[in-house]
């Protein structure tokens, strides 16, 4: 049977011991394994030793003659411990009665060095103990995960470092590594250093999700030292951590190459504590070579191998998906988001889109965080871009999925600090014999390294209020009710930027008249607010006046209206892809663009296109000035296709495009 020694270092922590020792002793009584409690006092002046001996006679107490700091005080307790498992515990941590009931079985694995419970900061409510490792600007950066980042499966969950304030250690391995290094005196980073040495010795630091303790963070340190001094010490020790432990030559070279730029950034960003911390570390340079030499004798694993072992394929804390831009481009990214959610059901997925597209993502349950940014943030709004840059950096994503892939997104993904970066590469015109991918398939390729998914699921989620609005809107416009007549939506515009995709407005008018007179269909003309005059011009050419919704409905309401319709007729633009994702039958009018890449995704849709020598030119403006590819698509052809389509409803696709 395994036995435990609880080692509690303390300095002037009488009030904290008075508060947190009783719950610990209650847990000892409830435990089914032998447990001793050992408090090591670091020359306190508040009467802690006398208080402990009088109030808790069952607790072993050791006392330093002078103040030694956290590392040496804890090491003294480790050396004095009588049992094989050492549970280091800060005096500001409260444990539950079951703290000793789970996690010890993990030490049956001879490679396990430490097991850390879930540690919750009582002030912020955040988890402190789920930590990872990723390359930073100067090689190293640690980061925290929320409990949502835990895997949905039984098994071990590695953490970058074991929180020294509440962790079970294998005492024998601790002694082999000589415990916490006193070079980090007086406090902070000792536990990070010890854990990284353990990883490089070939051992594992694991999390125990079944046990939770509560931390009143830095109660002792913050009461004794000014905040500025604490920040200087932390940055000094972060620098020492790198100097003492990194042995990979390529990483060392990268560190020194990046160092001048990193320091310049710290100066520009007024991060004085980082700059000062580095120069404070320079005072330790004479001690670095002998310490490195002694450590390397224990190292069996390289730095890159530690990275590999910490990269858990079944977990992801926060995934940032970056896809601002036009409607269709954003909608084509939805299957990639669905694949990420399917692979990481508990991850915190954040979607970054253009503000004008917020209606199409607000109702999506697959995306936890929705960030909408103004379009001008990438067109001259330097201040806004820098602010967004800070926001992305503060999000600390574990994975950055760049589905935009331009200069600004290059900056964002590199500043984000994400350990995993996936970048979209648009498929250009493939050589003969190579399949031209649909845009959805191309985007899905981007996330394949994380998801392994090749079969897309294309579905759009609308807000409930938009759906209810569309139902009421239709009820008010159709005397016999929404299903009293076929409902056909005509989307005549494609945006000012790509006029080569426009079908002549008089063609839409002729089609609308025939749909109303011969099929008895209710005809709606949709568009953006800027398209209102264009749609009204088409309506003015028609004998039977349609309902013009351009400028009257929001994007979400327009999408809901399209979802309620039977058929949509449109060129290659956003509403066409909305209809495909909602299961509405689409008659796509194509000219200059490749139908293989941008056709309506799904089964049963119809693409009308002429086979001309100049197609596909992919030009935004017709190079010949004739627009012949669109003019050759006659209203009669489109009317016939709509008539056939009204007999068979379409459905969103979960397979290849039709």
**Domain boundaries, given as residue ranges, for the chain:** 4-224, 228-310, 318-451, 464-645
pLDDT tens digits along 323-347: 988 899 999 999 999 999 988 887 8
Spatial separation of the C-alpha atoms in residues 191 and 242, rounded to whole Å: 14
Spatial separation of the C-alpha atoms in residues 568 and 337, rounded to whole Å: 26
Q: Quick check: 36 pLDDT over 60?
A: yes
Spatial separation of the C-alpha atoms in residues 43 and 62, rounded to whole Å: 10
Residue 325: the pLDDT is 85
Confidence of residue 9 (pLDDT cuts 50, 70, 90): very high
Q: Quick check: 658 pLDDT over 50?
A: no
157, 203 Cβ separation under 8 angstroms:
no
Please give the average per-residue pLDDT across 355-363, as a whole number.
Answer: 91
Residue 148: the pLDDT is 40
pLDDT tens digits along 440-494: 999 999 988 888 877 788 999 999 999 999 999 998 888 666 667 899 999 999 8
Task: Please give the mean pLDDT across all residues of the chain.
Answer: 85
And the tokens for 16? 């904290």
And the tokens for 142? 């640690």
Residue 81: the pLDDT is 95
Residue 545 host element (H or E)? none
129, 166 Cβ separation under 8 angstroms:
yes
* pLDDT-wise least confident of 304-313, 379-388, 399-408: 304-313
The alpha-helical segments, DSSP class H, found in 452-531 are: 464-477, 505-519
Residue 339's SS3 state is helix
Q: Quick check: 569 pLDDT over 50?
A: yes
Neighbours of 472 (CB within 10 A): 11
Please give the average per-residue pLDDT across 538-566, as a whole number.
Answer: 94
Spatial separation of the C-alpha atoms in residues 130 and 117, rounded to whole Å: 9
Spatial separation of the C-alpha atoms in residues 577 and 573, rounded to whole Å: 7
Q: For domain 464-645, say whether CATH 3.30.565.60 is its number.
A: no
* pLDDT-wise least confident of 61-70, 191-200, 282-291, 298-307: 298-307
pLDDT tens digits along 241-278: 889 998 988 888 878 887 887 778 777 767 777 778 88
Residue 481: the pLDDT is 62
* pLDDT-wise least confident of 384-388, 488-492, 608-612: 384-388
pLDDT tens digits along 71-119: 999 999 999 999 999 999 999 999 988 889 888 889 999 999 999 988 8
* Cβ burial 277-294 (10 Å sphere, 16+ → b, else e): bbebbeebeeeeeebeee
Spatial separation of the C-alpha atoms in residues 387 and 396, rounded to whole Å: 15
Q: Decide which of 3.40.50.720, 3.50.50.60, 3.20.20.390, 3.40.50.2000 is the CATH code for 318-451.
A: 3.40.50.2000
- Say yes or no: do domains 4-224 and 318-451 share a fold: no
Residue 313: the pLDDT is 46
CATH topology of domain 4-224: Spore Coat Polysaccharide Biosynthesis Protein SpsA; Chain A (3.90.550)
Spatial separation of the C-alpha atoms in residues 191 and 388, rounded to whole Å: 33
Q: Quick check: 150 pLDDT over 60?
A: no
pLDDT tens digits along 196-207: 999 999 999 988
Confidence of residue 149 (pLDDT cuts 50, 70, 90): very low
Residue 8: the pLDDT is 95
Neighbours of 77 (CB within 10 A): 22
Cβ neighbours of residue 378 closer than 8 Å, sequence gap 6 or more: 324, 385, 408
| Residue among 284, 276, 188 at smallest CA distance from 240 | 284
Higher pLDDT, 534 or 186: 534
Q: Tell me the whole-structure pTM to 2 decimals.
A: 0.59
Spatial separation of the C-alpha atoms in residues 658 and 350, rounded to whole Å: 30
The residues that bridge with 63 in the sheet, in sequence order, are 41
Higher pLDDT, 23 or 653: 23
Residue 155: the pLDDT is 57
Handedness of CA 532, 537, 541, 543 (dihedral sign): positive
């Amino acid at each position: 049977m395994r036995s435990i020694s609880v080692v509690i270092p303390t300095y002037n922590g009488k009030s904290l011991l008075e508060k947190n020792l009783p719950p610990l002793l209650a847990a000892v009584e409830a435990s089914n394994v032998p447990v001793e409690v050992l408090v090591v006092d670091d020359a306190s002046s508040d009467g802690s030793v006398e208080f402990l001996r009088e109030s808790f006679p069952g607790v072993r107490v050791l006392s330093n003659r002078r103040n030694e700091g956290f590392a040496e005080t804890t090491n003294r307790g480790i050396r004095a411990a009588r049992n094989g498992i050492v549970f280091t515990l800060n005096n500001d941590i409260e444990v539950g009665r079951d703290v000793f009931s789970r996690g010890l079985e993990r030490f049956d694995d001879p490679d396990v060095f430490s097991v850390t419970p879930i540690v919750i900061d009582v002030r912020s409510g955040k988890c402190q103990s789920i930590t990872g490792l990723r390359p930073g600007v100067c090689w190293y950066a640690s980061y925290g995960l929320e409990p949502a980042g835990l895997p949905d499966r039984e098994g071990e969950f590695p953490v970058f470092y074991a929180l020294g304030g509440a962790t079970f250690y294998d005492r024998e391995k601790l002694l082999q590594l000589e415990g916490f290094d006193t070079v980090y005196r007086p406090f902070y980073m000792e536990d990070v250093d010890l854990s990284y040495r353990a990883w490089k010795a070939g051992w594992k630091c694991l999390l125990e999700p079944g046990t939770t303790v509560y931390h009143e963070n830095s109660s002792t340190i913050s009461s004794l030292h000014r905040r500025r001094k604490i920040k200087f010490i932390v940055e000094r020790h972060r620098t020492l951590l790198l100097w003492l432990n990194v042995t990979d030559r390529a990483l060392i070279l990268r560190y020194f190459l990046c160092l001048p730029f990193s320091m310049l950034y710290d100066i520009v960003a007024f991060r004085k504590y980082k700059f000062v911390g580095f120069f404070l570390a320079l005072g330790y340079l004479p001690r670095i070579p002998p310490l490195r030499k002694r450590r390397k004798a224990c190292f069996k694993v390289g730095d890159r191998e530690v990275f590999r072992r910490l990269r858990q394929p079944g977990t992801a804390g926060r995934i940032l998906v970056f896809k601002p831009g036009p409607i269709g481009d954003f909608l084509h990214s939805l299957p990639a988001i669905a694949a990420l959610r399917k692979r990481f059901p508990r991850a915190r997925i954040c979607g970054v889109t253009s503000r004008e597209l917020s209606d199409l993502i607000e109702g999506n349950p697959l995306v936890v965080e929705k960030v909408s940014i103004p379009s001008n943030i990438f067109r001259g709004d330097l201040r806004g871009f820098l602010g967004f840059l800070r926001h992305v950096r503060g999000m600390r994503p574990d994975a950055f999925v760049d589905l935009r892939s331009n200069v600004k997104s290059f900056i964002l993904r590199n500043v984000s600090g994400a350990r995993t970066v996936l970048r979209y590469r648009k498929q250009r015109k493939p050589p003969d014999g190579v399949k031209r991918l649909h845009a959805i398939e191309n985007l899905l390729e981007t996330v394949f390294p994380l998801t392994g998914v090749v079969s897309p699921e294309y579905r759009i989620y609308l807000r409930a209020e938009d759906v209810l609005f569309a139902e009421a809107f239709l009820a008010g416009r159709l005397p016999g009710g929404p299903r009293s007549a076929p409902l056909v939506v005509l989307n005549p515009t494609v945006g000012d930027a790509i006029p080569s995709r426009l079908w002549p407005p008089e063609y839409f008018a002729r089609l609308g008249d025939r749909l109303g007179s011969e099929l008895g269909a209710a005809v709606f003309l949709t568009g953006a607010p800027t398209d209102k005059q264009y749609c009204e011009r088409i309506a003015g050419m028609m004998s039977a006046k349609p309902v013009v919704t351009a400028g009257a409905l929001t994007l979400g309401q327009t999408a809901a209206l399209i979802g309620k319709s039977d058929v949509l007729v449109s060129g290659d633009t956003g509403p066409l892809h909305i209809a495909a994702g909602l299961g509405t039958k689409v008659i796509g009018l194509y000219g200059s663009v490749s139908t293989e890449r941008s056709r309506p995704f799904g089964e049963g849709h119809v693409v009308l296109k002429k086979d001309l020598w100049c197609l596909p030119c992919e030009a935004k403006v017709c190079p010949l000035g004739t627009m012949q590819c669109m003019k050759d698509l006659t209203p009669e052809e489109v009317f016939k296709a709509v008539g056939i389509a009204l007999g068979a409803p379409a459905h969103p696709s979960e397979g290849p495009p039709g």
